[in-house]
Amino acid sequence: MRVKIHREGTNILIILLAALLAVNAPLWIWCPQMPWLWVPVACVSVVFYLLVVNFFRSPRRFFPGDPVNAVVASADGEVVALEETFESEFLMCRCIQLSVFMSPLNVHANWFPVNGEVVYARHHNGRFQAAYLPKSSTENERSTVVIRTPSGQLVLMRQVAGAMARRIVTYAKPGDEASIEDHMGFIKFGSRIDLYLPLDTSIYVKIGDKTVGGITQVGLLHPDM
């Protein structure tokens, strides 16, 4: 199967390949009789490069269920927080916070959690603490996006940088159409996604569950309740 690389990784992979060739080529040329030196270096280089390629893979996914009022995981990873909390940036009300932590081995593309229209998008500078810490949601580098669903409900999605993540990319901007099958952004090297949902949302996951971005249904909105 052909591996599709996310556009955020193209330049990084080209530069990394050039750097690794610059390290390995002199060893192959000048030390051909010293395999104990160049073979380990070559093996480490190949493994490292493949890990970075794996990080930037970009699968195309299609939600298999009914998208009406569905809340879909925005990222691959593990559910690390599921609690009632007060959202103080935009919604200004109590919500269900559902957080997914992404390890460096996960796909780091981020999907829209619901269909609708983007009504708010803002980036915040901040710290780079471990993304699994609760306070990372409000203190770390982060980007907030709010989507209004076709039924009028507001869902807030927050990309949170981690100790390794040094760049959050957010494609969404106010006025954009949000689709659960589209990427809304990307976070480089370890991070977390927080969803803030209405209190009456039916939740289909629990702490410790694994999610697949764009595929796993994590909840169901109830606009008529």
Beta bridge partners of 98: 82, 195
Tokens in use for 153?
A: 């409900």
Active site residue 74: no
Tokens in use for 126?
A: 């901040």
Q: Find the catalytic residue in 99, 137, 143, 191.
A: 191
Sign of CA dihedral 6, 12, 18, 19: negative
Enzyme catalytic residues: 191
